Structure 1
Amino acid sequence: MYGARAPTSLPIRAPPPRPSPQPSTASMSIPNEALQKLISDIDARASSSLQQLQMVRTQISTCNREIRLLQLTGEELSSLPAETRVFEGVGKMFVHRQMPDVKARLENEEKGLKGDITDLEKKMRYLETTYVNAREGLDAILKGGRS
């Protein structure tokens, strides 16, 4: 048979390894620009949460101060005789009010302020959690970059 060649032995190669479905952390890399933007976003979120947290704390202390003022006013009214005439300031004038009406108004204002404080404390817990999570995320990114 002419033109027939002798069989040559070709080396048998193993198929190339398949990529794993989840890349290892050593092979993962984030481009510098994307990493910088991520760090900047997390830092901005943390700064914003910290600023809002300080505002909420100020609002809570203001509400506590107002509650204390209402309590002191109520104590002063309680120490007065029942027939004492009571006047409340309305704009630039004073209006005569009955003692029970004034006490009721003070109590309602105090309840409203306590409700406000409850809401502000919820907001404060949320902002604290947001701040802590942002800081932990930033620390994790920075520690991951050093490894």
Structure 2
Amino acid sequence: MAAPVDLELKKAFSELQVKMIDTQQKVKMADLQIDQLTRVQKHAKLTHAEIATLPDNTRLYEGVGRMFILQSKEEINNLLTDKQKTADEKIKELEQRKVYLERSVKEAEDNIREMLLSRRAH
């Protein structure tokens, strides 16, 4: 009877290991995306602060691909504000996803612990 128990535990451990590796990769990817979005957010904030110091009649250009388009100061400010809001929303989504992933791994670990404890009790 010890062999089926060992096989069941081995299977549970291997599934946990696969889940842990997958989750760790997803968490690392989320961290990288958060870092990148934070840089985008910071860049937009700094650009917004620089533009605020310019007179209203200053000619401003928006970079689009390999060309530049003349835009008003208000339009540029709106674009930068939208960029910051979008980055903030995505960061919040990624943080929630990280929490979910970490919780699912913890639950899997707890399930295996319970399995081990129940096996020892018998």
TM-score, normalised to structure 2's length? 0.85
In the other structure, the counterpart of 1:74 is: 48
RMSD of the alignment, in Å?
Answer: 2.4
Matched, 1:105 2:82: no
How far residue 108 of structure 1 moved from its aligned partner, in angstroms, is 1.0
SS of the aligned residue for 2:55 comes to coil
Give me the whole-angstrom Cα distance separating, in 2, the residues matched to 1:118 and 1:76: 27
CA drift of 1:131 comes to: 2.2
**Could you tell me which amino acid in structure 2 is paired with residue 131 of structure 1?**
V
User: What is the CA-CA distance between 1:142 and the residue it aligns to?
Assistant: 5.3
Equivalent residue for 2:21, pick from 41, 47, 60: 47
**In the TM superposition, what whole-angstrom CA distance separates every residue of 1:6-50 from its partner, at most 9, and x where no partner exists?**
xxxxxxxxxxxxxxxxxxxxx998432222112101111122112
Q: Which amino acid aligns with 1:53?
A: V
State the secondary structure of the residue aligned to 2:56.
coil
Q: Distance in 2 between matches of 1:131 and 1:34?
A: 19
Q: What is the alpha-carbon distance in structure 1 between the residues aligned to residue 117 and residue 18 of structure 2?
A: 19
Unaligned runs of at least 5 residues, structure 2:
none
Q: How many residues are paired up?
A: 121
TM-score where L is the length of structure 1? 0.71
CA distance in 2, matches of 1:142, 1:59: 37
Identity %: 26
Higher-Rg member (1/2): 1
Secondary structure at the aligned position of 1:88 is classed as strand
Q: What does the per-residue CA deviation read over 1:46-104, in whole Å, with 9 as the maximum and x for residues that have no partner?
A: 22112111111111111111100000000010011111100111121111111100100
Q: Superposed, which structure 2 residues align to 1:88-103 within 5 Å?
A: 88-103=62-77
SS in 2 for 1:76: helix
Gaps of 5+ in 1: 1-26
Q: How far apart are 1:145 and its partner, in Å? A: 6.0
Select the structure that is richer in helix: 2
